[in-house]
Amino acid sequence: MGYLLLAGAIAAEVAATTAMKYSEGFSRLLPSLLTALGYLLSFTLLAQTLKTVSVGTAYAIWAGVGTAAIATIGILFMDEGMTATKAAGIALIIVGVVVLNLGGAH
């Protein structure tokens, strides 16, 4: 159940960060509200996750997967360029999450 909550926390954080992009510096009401609500939901779910998943593992996965997802969204939907450096960074994040889980993250 902890990893399901963590997946929800990641999804909420990614949605909030995406909404922040469209808030234009918090000058647009709806995207600004979606940003605040998304982060509130994300932190609430992350806090619930920490009841069953170690803090180091949960935070590393939350931050890493969220970062990789936002970078991918930027590339696919926001006309951000893909460079070899960016691709390598995303790949390293994914490898890091896999290594964490193989190393005994429960």
Residue in the structure block whose two tokens are 């593992």: 57
Per the CB < 8 A criterion, the answer to whether 15 and 34 are in contact is: yes
Per the CB < 8 A criterion, the answer to whether 64 and 15 are in contact is: no
Q: Tokens standing for 98?
A: 């896999």
Q: Can you tell me the distance from the alpha carbon of 84 to that of 53, in angstroms, rounded to the nearest whole number? A: 33
| pLDDT tens per residue across span 16-48 | 999 999 999 999 999 999 999 999 999 999 999
Q: Tokens standing for 61?
A: 């996965």
Looking at residue 94, its pLDDT comes to 85
Domain boundaries of the chain, sorted by first residue? 2-102
Specify the pTM: 0.86
Q: Can you tell me the distance from the alpha carbon of 12 to that of 41, in angstroms, rounded to the nearest whole number? A: 6
